[in-house]
Structure formats: structure tokens, C-alpha cells
Structure 1
Amino acid sequence: MRNTLYEVMLKLAYALLLSSVVTGAARAHEVVPTIADLTVAEGVADISLRINLEAQLSGIDLDVVEDTNDAENAGDYDSLRALSPDEIAARVPELLAAWNAAPLLRVDGEPVNLETVSVTVPEDVNAELPRISEWVLRGQVPTDARGVVVAWPAGSGAMVLRQQGVEEPYTGYLEGGTQSPEIELAGGGQETAWQAFLTYIPVGFDHILPKGLDHILFVLGLFFLSTHLKPLIWQVSAFTAAHTVTLALGALGLVTVPGSIVEPLIAASIVYVAVENIFSSGLSRWRPFVIFGFGLLHGLGFASVLGEFGLPDDQFIPALIGFNVGVEIGQLTVIAIMALCVWQALRVARGEGGQQAAKSLYVGLAVVALALCFVPMPSVATALEAPVPLFLVPLALVFTGCFLSVQFRQTAEPYRRFVAIPASVGIALVGAYWFIERVFL
């Protein structure tokens, strides 16, 4: 009885610690790319923007947050979001002044002063959703100009830049603080299919690591079912096949399901796989089919991201494939990292490794992971776009579980008892929290 109570308390402690760390970042996504359509003709440059003006005006560093609620000055965004459309439109000149000072647009190396032609801020948008405005800018350029460069300011998040009105137009994906190559005004700067493919691989990877915490937990739920490779291959294959289908259909606009439905169901899928891990140590005959169904949901979630980029038709397929490849690389990276973390514990459980060396290894790894939580690492946090402890604390808990698995290796299924089940309990609790938040909060 004492051992059973100990195990229950251990699992709950792991779960509560994991959920307390992870749920801090589980909020509705609000930071979306700005879509910019650039037209230069007869001495006039027009830039039509689909943009979240409140996010840009708030001063939030949109390069390092995925959700405005995660920013230290989130209250500034909320205050702006509560303003009327006319009040937001009145704030546009201050943003434009900063962009012109940068400058945002250069033609043949010379800055172009932009002026506002029109600002349309929509009304009656749910306060929990980003309000996407239409902002048209115009500047005078020499009639014999040859090329233009767009420099997207640091802290502005991502931008999809699309050239209009020419054959073979340029389309590019710019991060904040970067600039486009010189875009030939006569056209011909369109990326090849291969370039578009390569461009969107890192975009897909980034959507898993570090931004896709829900997808990370789902993949880890697949990993913790069994220590054997075959069940993992079956699950990952079913998941990959399914989300590839709906990623394509959703991004092409052939299938549309509101995020208010997809996001809670994704959270529910996390709960399902984690709970099944607790009660089953092997691949049931129906699990690959269930995983396939959940993969369809996750594909719709990926599609909503790619659909925001507004790619032209002739670049869409290679970009779609590149994005999907990036997602797969991200998922395999998650699995590889966790496999390395638990590898020595599994070797000891199979009688292939030394107990003392493994215990020393996991004690050292757990201590290092926890110690690093207190070391300021702003550059790492910026790269991860999340607090560093968000990743290190769960790793420290996994290392601790591996230590216990080695310490009590004589018990039945030590890895499952001290690592797989506690981790699955934690994943299930986080998924349950997300489901409640996305439906009721």
C-alpha cells in the first residue's frame, strides 16, 4: 500500500510541476504575419498591408512572442485592442513616422517617404481575436527606377511580401529586422519552386520547435506509449499521412474548419494519447486509426498557419511541401531529443548498462538542467521564443524519473513506472487544461 501511495504521489508531483511550467504559454495565438502587396508603376509605389495595427503600436517585440499575452507589456496591447477603429486609425501616423525613419522602402538605394492613402480598421471583431486592418501606403519614386528593397523593422514579427502587377513577381518571407533582396521592378524576381521549397522548411520546423507546444506534447504522447520502435513507427506514419492530407486541403482552402473547433479537439487528442499510455504499454489495433483521425485535426492547425502567408498559386505547392517537410523534421527532432534523454535508463532496464554510471549521469543532468533555469540566457530565450525554464524543468523531471527507473530497476517495468506513466500523466493534465481553456475561458 505504501509503495502504491508513493507512486501515485510521485506521478501527481511530476504532473503538477510539468503543467505549471507548460500552461503558462498555452494561450490563443494572436501574432500573425503581416501581408504586404507591393505595386510600383508610373512613378508611384503602393504598399497594401493586412496588418494587426494594435500589435504593432503596442511596442511588443513581435519577433519573440507568438501570443501577445506572453509579452511583459501585454496590457498595452489589450488597451489598444479595446479602442475604437477611429481611435486606432488616429494612431497610425506615429507608426508610419518610425517606418519612414528606418526607412521601410528604398528605391535604387534612396529612401522613399511613404504617406497613408487609407486605413480600414474593422468593427465588431471578437476581442479575443486579432483585428486585421487594411492599410495602404504610397510614395513617389523615379519613373526610371530599376529596383526596390523593403526593410521590415525589428520587432514587427513576420511579413509576407508579394510583388504585384508584373510577370514572375517576387514573393518573400521576411522576419523582423531583415530586408528583401533588391526586387526588380520589371519583374522576373520570382523564386523558383526549389527556392520556395527551401524557404518554407525552416518555417515548418519553427512551428514545431519551439512554437508548437501542443504538437510537441502530442508527439511525446506517441513516444511514451512503448519502448519498442515498431509501435512508434506505426503511430508517426499514421499521424504524418493524416496531417499531410488536411494540411494540403486546408491550406488550399478546400476544407475549412474554425479554429474554435480545431484547437479544443487538438487538446483533446493530447489527453487521449496520454491517458491511453497510462493504461496500455503496447500498440492496440485501433490506436493507429485514432492517431490518423487526430492527425487530420493537427493538419488543419498547420494549414491555418500556412494559409496566413497568402502565397501565389505557382509557389504554393513547393512551399506547402517544404513546410510539411519542416514539420516532419521538427517532430523527428522532438522524438530524437527525448530518445537521447531516456536512452541510458532503457539500457539499464534491459540489463545492458551500468547502474551507478547511469545514476550519476541522470543526477548530473537534472542538476544542470535546474541550475540553467537560474542563468540569464536572453539570446536563448529569444531563439526559443519562450522562457528557458519552460523546456528545462520538464527535462529535469524526465531525468529524475530516469534516475528512479535505474535506482529501482528490479521492480516490474521500472521505465514505464517512473518515466513513461508520470510523463503521460503530466501531458494529459496539460492537454486537459488547454481543452478547458479553449472551450470555456
Structure 2
Amino acid sequence: MKMFSRPINQVLASLVLAVLLLLPGLAGARAHEIRPAIADLVFVGDGTVRLEISLILEAALAEIGVEHGDTDDSPNSGRYDDLRRLDESGLAVEFGRFERRFLNGVKLTSDEGEIALDVTAVELEPVGDTDFARLSRLSLSGQLPVNARDVVFSFNPAFGPSVIRVPDAQGEYSYSAYLGDGSPSEPIPVEGGLTVSASQVFFDYIGIGFTHIVPKGLDHILFVVGLFLLSPRLKPLLIQITAFTVAHSVTLALAMLGVISVPASIVEPLIAASIVFIAVENLATSRLSPWRPFVVFGFGLLHGLGFAGVLTEFGLSPAHFVSGLIGFNVGVEVGQLAVVAACYALFGAWFSDKSWYRARVSVPMSLAIAGVAAWWFVERIGLIA
């Protein structure tokens, strides 16, 4: 027994270190990603203008602003968690207290001044699974000034980011813009006709794709780290990353086109299971098998469905579907490469050629990743609250 004590102690010490390094991730395992409020601007035709807003109302009530990528990053996270546990009637009471503050932060202005808005309908979902953010729907309406030619939308950044969309008569979105920093939209013509260039959409969605990985995509980050741990060498790693990117691009495009649709309640547990698989494989073997890129490709198909759940909300217009989709994928790829670069800078460049790399780095970190992802899996299938 004595002959094994030193290596075992080294592995255990390394495992403790890996868990400590991953504590931010462990804390975020139960956290909720901040989704933008989606506001559809509708000109009724009788002088009335409506805003149909879908949002995580609890995050707005807790005033978790655009500077946070996750609700747990905010000092108001406790308030958010309390609101998440309220039933519909309790949340409605809280919104009633907050309504005037909310209306002061959601603005439509024309060249003749601010348009007064009133809340005309509130639709709240049951509490459900608190591991998933629930969406609430608010209807706001106001009267356009007689000579108004266009309106500008703004959303208080204290309530989080927002997306403004303008649906046409066919239900497609002739215009959509991501207002991540609380800046106002472009002037939106009352008579329609506003469009954005394909290049602007492309660059906007690069940023959206990147932030969906860094810092918001902890599950995708751990997946990429798991790929790195088994084989830090550049060529096989790039082959795996490329396979993953091609695969998630395929399912993302198909999901955005409405060809396939899988509910998050199925996709999210499977994404967690894919991370467990990669981490456990790291523990079972020290060599990169020739079939691993094909496995990674299969998991990439799954992760693409996860990306689609976010991107679908943004309402890409058909005219900009290709540029937006490519931009988002470029952003995701840059985010993944940033994770790889960070792994290489932190330990790959220093330790990957050491004889003890597997025992002290790869195995302990893979154990920690497997533990986090296994916890996510049982959470997401509802075995624990």
C-alpha cells in the first residue's frame, strides 16, 4: 500500500486543485444565463403602436443589467432567485409594484417627443423547473403622434440586453437589431422599409456568437477543455474543433430553417451527457483514437441544437439569414479558439510534454469536468431540484 501512497496523494492533490480552479464553473452550474428581452414593434394602422415583449421578467425586476453575463454574477442574484420561486400571482404583484419603473425604462420616441406607453396585457408562466428561466410576455401600447414618421426604441440597460424586431404582414422580420449595451435603435419608419446591411448583420452576430461561448457558454467551454486535455497537440485538436464546428453549423442551420425542432428539455441533458462522455474517455485512455473526431462531430450536431434555442429568438430576416448564421458561427469558432488558446497558455505550453501531465493535469481536470457535467445532467432531467 505504501508504494502507491505518493502517486495517489499527488493525484488527489491535483484533483483538489482542479476543483478549486473550476469553482466558478461549479457555482454557475445552477446559474441562469441572461437572455435578451425580445421586443416586437407593431404599427397597427389606426395610429396605435404596440410593443410585444418576451423577457425573463425576474431578471428585469431584480435589475440585473447588461454588464452581467449570468444572474449569479450580479449582487442582486438573491433577489432574482426569490422572484424565480414565486407563482404567477406573486410575480404579478411584484410586477405591479415595479410597473412604473419598468415603463420609465422602455421608451418609444418620435421626432415629436416620447410616446406614452401603457401595459395592456401580462402573461406569466407557472414556476416550473427553476433550473430553466421562464419567459413572461408583456403587451405595451401607445398612440403615435399624428405626424410621426419614425420611432426610436430604447430599453434600460439596468433591465438587461434587448432585441428589437419589426414583423411584416407575413410574420417575417424585416428588421431586427441587438441592443446589447442599452443604446437606442435606429429610427424605425412607421411606414416600414427599414433594413440593415448584410455586413452589419454579419459583424453583429460575430459578437453574439462569441459571447455565447465566452463568457456565457460554460457547458460548451468545458466540452472544448475536455477535448484539449486528452491531446494538447495542435493538429488533432484543430481536427476535432473543426468537426465540432461543421456539425453544429449543420444542425443550427436546419433548426433555424424549421426543418428540425427538439425541445430544450431533451437537448440540454444530452449536452451535459456529451461532456461527461468526453471527460470519462479522457480517464479511460491516454491516446487519441482515430474515431474520436467522428464522436465529436456527433456531439457537435447536438450542441448546434442548443445554439439554435438562443439564435431563433433574434428573428433573423430571410434577407440576412445567411450573413447572420455565418457571423454567429464565426463568433462561436473564435470563442472556441479563445478557450483553446487559454488552455494552452495556462498549462499546455508548460506541462503537456511532461511525463506527469496525464496524472497531474489531464486526469484530475477530467474528473472535475465529469463531476460538474454529471451534476448538470441529473439536474436537467429533474432528479434533483
TM-score (normalised: structure 2): 0.87
Q: How many residues align?
A: 377
Q: Distance in 1 between matches of 2:93 and 2:349?
A: 61
Which residue of 42, 53, 58 maps to 1:54?
A: 58
Identity %: 45
Q: Distance in 1 between matches of 2:13 and 2:160?
A: 41
Which residue of 43, 49, 70 maps to 2:47?
A: 43
Give the Å deviation of 1:99.
Answer: 4.2
Unaligned segments of structure 2, at least 5 residues: none
Which residue of 309, 313, 319 maps to 1:314?
A: 319
Which residue of 373, 378, 383 maps to 1:436?
A: 378
Give the Å deviation of 1:324.
Answer: 1.0
Contact 2:11 2:360 in 1 (8 A): no
The residue identity in structure 2 corresponding to 1:297 is L
Change (3 A) 1:248 1:83: same
User: Which residue of 1 is the match for residue 145 of structure 2?
Assistant: 142
Give the Å deviation of 1:210.
Answer: 0.7
User: Which residue of 2 is the match for residue 106 of structure 1?
Assistant: 109
**3-state secondary structure, aligned to 2:52:** strand
User: Which residue of 2 is the match for residue 287 of structure 1?
Assistant: 292
Contact 2:230 2:287 in 1 (8 A): yes
TM-score (normalised: structure 1): 0.77
Q: Distance in 1 between matches of 2:67 and 2:77?
A: 13
Contact 1:33 1:160 in 2 (8 A): yes
Give the Å deviation of 1:93.
Answer: 5.1
The alignment's C-alpha RMSD in Å is: 2.7
1:265 and 2:265 correspond? no
Q: Distance in 2 between matches of 1:28 and 1:312?
A: 31
Which residue of 395, 402, 414 maps to 2:356?
A: 414
The residue identity in structure 1 corresponding to 2:310 is V
The residue identity in structure 2 corresponding to 1:205 is F
Which residue of 250, 253, 266 maps to 2:255?
A: 250
Give the Å deviation of 1:201.
Answer: 0.7
Give the Å deviation of 1:262.
Answer: 1.8
Change (3 A) 1:425 1:52: closer
Q: Distance in 2 between matches of 1:121 and 1:228?
A: 50
User: Which residue of 2 is the match for residue 373 of structure 1?
Assistant: none
Change (3 A) 1:190 1:44: same
1:183 and 2:183 correspond? no
Give the Å deviation of 1:221.
Answer: 1.0
Give the Å deviation of 1:320.
Answer: 1.6
Contact 2:131 2:379 in 1 (8 A): no
Q: Distance in 2 between matches of 1:7 and 1:168?
A: 58
Q: Distance in 2 between matches of 1:424 and 1:136?
A: 47
Give the Å deviation of 1:218.
Answer: 0.7
1:198 and 2:203 correspond? yes
Change (3 A) 1:287 1:179: same
Which residue of 11, 17, 24 maps to 2:27?
A: 24
Q: Distance in 2 between matches of 1:168 and 1:248?
A: 17
1:298 and 2:308 correspond? no
Contact 2:103 2:118 in 1 (8 A): no
Q: Distance in 1 between matches of 2:65 and 2:258?
A: 27
User: Which residue of 1 is the match for residue 9 of structure 2?
Assistant: 6
The residue identity in structure 1 corresponding to 2:215 is P
**3-state secondary structure, aligned to 1:160:** strand
Q: Distance in 1 between matches of 2:283 and 2:132?
A: 36
Give the Å deviation of 1:304.
Answer: 0.9
**3-state secondary structure, aligned to 1:155:** helix
Contact 2:64 2:76 in 1 (8 A): no
Change (3 A) 1:422 1:91: closer
The residue identity in structure 1 corresponding to 2:154 is A
Give the Å deviation of 1:126.
Answer: 4.7
Give the Å deviation of 1:191.
Answer: 1.2
Change (3 A) 1:48 1:168: closer
Give the Å deviation of 1:258.
Answer: 2.3
Give the Å deviation of 1:33.
Answer: 2.3
Deviates more, 1:113-122 or 1:26-35: 26-35
The residue identity in structure 1 corresponding to 2:270 is L
Which residue of 398, 421, 425 maps to 2:367?
A: 425
The residue identity in structure 2 corresponding to 1:152 is F
Contact 2:88 2:127 in 1 (8 A): no
Deviates more, 1:22-31 or 1:235-244: 22-31
User: Which residue of 2 is the match for residue 330 of structure 1?
Assistant: 335
Contact 1:18 1:426 in 2 (8 A): no
Deviations 1:318-374 (A, max 9, x none): 212211111001001111122223354259x4xxxxxxxxxxxxxxxxxxxxxxxxx
Contact 1:226 1:232 in 2 (8 A): yes
Q: Distance in 1 between matches of 2:216 and 2:47?
A: 42
**3-state secondary structure, aligned to 1:104:** strand
Which residue of 343, 347, 350 maps to 1:345?
A: 350
